[in-house]
Amino acid sequence: MKLYTSIGPNPRLVRLFLAEKQVELPQVQVDILAGENRRPPYLGLNPAGSTPLLVLETGQALAETTAICEYIEELQPTPPLIGTTAEARALTRMWTRRVDLFVVQPMTSGFRGAEGLGLFQDRVHCLPQAADDLKATAREGLAWLDAQMADGRPFIAGQALTLADLMLYSFVEFGALVGQGLDPALQRLGAWHQRMAERPSAKATA
């Protein structure tokens, strides 16, 4: 297998996932600033033009971060990051989806409509007129997640580290780089973030 990776929070999420699994894969760096991912030969592998991309041993190209992480979990089930039972997997997927919908999508879209506009305006349909609202939506999503942690859970989905934590951590780190840092008033998420930052996976992928 071969992982096509680049700068950015989605590639980092896959690298975090691999680091927690202690799986090492050959990596190919894709220069997304130069637009390598938006032209052949990369577009032949992934017509959506996104990174990361995992090329399987069959030669099949697999895009989309969560699909890649699910695949790695199936190949290497320990330590479990999605779950060892149908119910545990379902709850990880629910929380991962909430992180995605409430934080990742508006944060990313807000960035692309503002600080990232120069890079993204010819690549995706950007929404500069909604950038402030999108960033506010991401802040509201983070506050909602913080409130869910009022039950004392150490991780987003409960008692165990899952894909939901790795996704949120990667995007909170990204947000901090692009003017969408975590509000210090969100104390539970702040403490969670500090614990996540201390993990070897965070340091190995920084």
* Residues within the interface to its own copies (CB under 8 A): 47-48, 56, 58, 60, 62-64, 66-68, 70-71, 74-75, 86-87, 89-91, 93-94, 97-98, 102, 105-106, 125, 127, 129-130, 133-134, 136-137, 140, 144, 148
Nearer to its own copies, 94 or 204 (CB): 94
CB of 64 to its own copies, least distance (A): 4
Question: Which residue has 């919908």 as its token pair?
Answer: 101
Nearer to its own copies, 112 or 193 (CB): 112
Dihedral Cα 15, 204, 185, 177, nearest 10 deg: -70
DSSP string, 148-167: HGGG--SBTTBSS--HHHHH
Nearer to its own copies, 69 or 172 (CB): 69
Structure tokens that stand for 140 in this block: 């509201």
Nearer to its own copies, 97 or 195 (CB): 97
What is the spatial distance between Cα 51 and Cα 29, in angstroms, rounded to a whole number? 10
Nearer to its own copies, 152 or 198 (CB): 152
Nearer to its own copies, 115 or 133 (CB): 133
For residue 75, the cross-strand partners are none
CB of 141 to its own copies, least distance (A): 9
CB of 200 to its own copies, least distance (A): 26
DSSP string, 71-109: HHHHH--SS-SS-SSHHHHHHHHHHHHHHIIIIIHHHHH
CB of 13 to its own copies, least distance (A): 13
What is the spatial distance between Cα 93 and Cα 116, in angstroms, rounded to a whole number? 29
CB of 174 to its own copies, least distance (A): 17
CB of 71 to its own copies, least distance (A): 4
Cis peptide before 9 (omega within 30 of 0): no
